[in-house]
Structure 1
C-alpha cells in the first residue's frame, strides 16, 4: 500500500464526493439536468455563462501537464495553489487531529489552513546563515516521524526567504518519509529559480506532491488557477474532496490563452529578464545606506533587513510604493519584502530609500 493510501482519512476511504451534473459522462443537445437558467444573462450574448463549468477541463489539464512535463492524470486544477493546500489538509488530517510540519519563516497559508482544520502546526525553524536561509530538512523529517505528522510542507523557492532547495535534498526527504508522510513542495516561484526540475522526482517518489500556480510568472493572479501534481491515485483522492465547480469559465479561458505555446515562450523570456533585474536590484539595494542585508533570492522578490525598517516603509508608502511589511514575523523584526517590479519601479525604490536616508 502506498503512502497516500495509508494516510488517507479512514472516514474518506469509501467517500466518493459530490457528483455534480457536469461530472456525468453523457452527451446531448438539450441540457436540462443542472437546473440552469434557459435564458442568457445580460452581457452574455452567446449564453455560455449560464452553464456550469467543467469541474476539471481536460484541455486545461492537458496544457498544465505539458507545461510541467507530467501526464494529465497527475494534474488536479485548483483555485490557485491555496486550494491545493486546503485539499491536502482535508484529505489527510481529520478535523481536530493530525499535524503538519513547516519551516518558518514561510508562507502563512500552511498554518492558517491547519488552524481552520483544527490540525497542529509543528515548526522546525529555518536557519539564517551567512549564505542565506536554510531549511533543516533532517530536522523536519525527524519531527514528522516522531510526531506522526502526515504532511510536511516545503516552500521551494522559499517565501519570504528566497531560499532554493536542491532536488537531491527533496528526494532524500521524500525517501526518508516514504510510507509515513507526504512531502508537499510548494513551487509557486519555481519559474524564477535556477533549477525548475522538481516534477522529475514524481516518478521515483510516490509520496511527493508539488503545488504550482499561474499567479506569478504567468501573470494570472486574478484568475486564481493553480494545480496539484502527484500520483494519479492521490489526485483522485483530492478530487473527491474538491468543491463541485472549482474553476470559473473565464478563468479557464484566460489560463488556456496563457498556456498557448507563443504565450509560454513570452513568459519564459519575461522571466529571464526579471531574474536579471532581480540581480541588478539586489546589487543596488546592497549599496544603499540604511540597508543592513539583502538575502539572495530565487523568487521574484527580495527580503531586506534595514537599520530602520519603519522609516524605510514610511518613506516608500509616502511616495505611493507599497511593499510587504515582514516585521510581525519572528526573526524578521527589521525586514521588508520587496517584489521585483519594472526597471523604472526598482530605480524609484532605490532613489526613495537613498533620499530617506539622506534626509535622516
Structure 2
C-alpha cells in the first residue's frame, strides 16, 4: 500500500490510466501529512489568497500536494477531516482514516456504481462492522470516495464524502502533481476532459453522484504581471452536468423539476458553471485558485446566481500539458435541503 496519492491505477481500477507504477513521493520523502496552513505560496502573486493546506514550499520544480481546509464550524464542520488516504493497487481498495463509522477504514470498489464519466473510480465503505466481542453487526454510515489519475500517473485527486450528518458531515478532498511544470511565457492553451463528483446536503442526509464535461483555457500573455508574479488569466466552463443516485439512476430531470416547481423558474437543463476571470489566479508554480459560479434566468428575464464556489488546481508537465483540480459549488435553491454542495474532481489535457 502506498500513501495518497498512489500509483496510476491499473486497468482494473481506472481504464483511462496506463503505464507502470508511480508511487506517491512528497518533497519530504513521504512524511508531508498535508497539515501546513497553505499560506506559503512560493513565488506566487501576492493577491491575498490562501492556498489549501499541503506543500509548505511549493515550486515549479517540486511535487505539490493540497487538501481540503479543515473546518470546525457550522454546516462545514467536518471539512478536511479525511486523512492518510491511500490506495492498494493489488486489491483495488482505498484506505481513509479519521472518519467515524466507515467500517475498518478500507473502501472497496463500488458495486452498483464502480466508475463515473468513464474515467474515475468509485469506492464505498462497508455497510456493517462486526463487534469482535459480541459478534453483533454495527451499522455504518454511508461513505463514498472518487479517485482519478492522469494517464501518466503524475496527477491525481480523491474526494471522500459522508452524507450521514445534519450538516455536510465529515470528509475531504486531495489533489496533487508528482512532477514539475514548465509554464509558457506567451500564447494560450486550452484543456478539455470530464469530471465527476459527490453531492451532499446541509439539512438532509444522503449522497448523490455527478458528472460533467469541463474545458479550461489559460492566457499566458495576459493579464500582465502583478507584484512580481504571473498575471495569467484562466477561464473555464462546466457543461453537460448530470446527477445520479447511489444506485446509478440518472435523476437529473427530477432534480431540475423540483427546483423549477419550488422557485417558479424554467431551467430546461442543469446550469453551466463558469470560472470568474480576473488577475491573480495563477502563480509561478502552476497553482490556480479562483471562483466559479452558475446562473439562471428568473421570471423577469434577469440573471440570478444559481451556485457559487471555488476551484483549486495545479498545472503539470514540461509543456504544461495537463491540469488536475477540484471544484466545490454550493446552492440554496434546491428544496431538497437548506443547501446543496457538489465537490468534483477533474483532469484535463491540452
Same fold (TM over 0.5): no
Between Structure 1 and Structure 2, the one with more strand by share is: 2
TM bracket, shorter-chain basis: under 0.3
Q: Which structure has the highest helix share of the two?
A: 1
Which structure: larger Rg?
A: 1
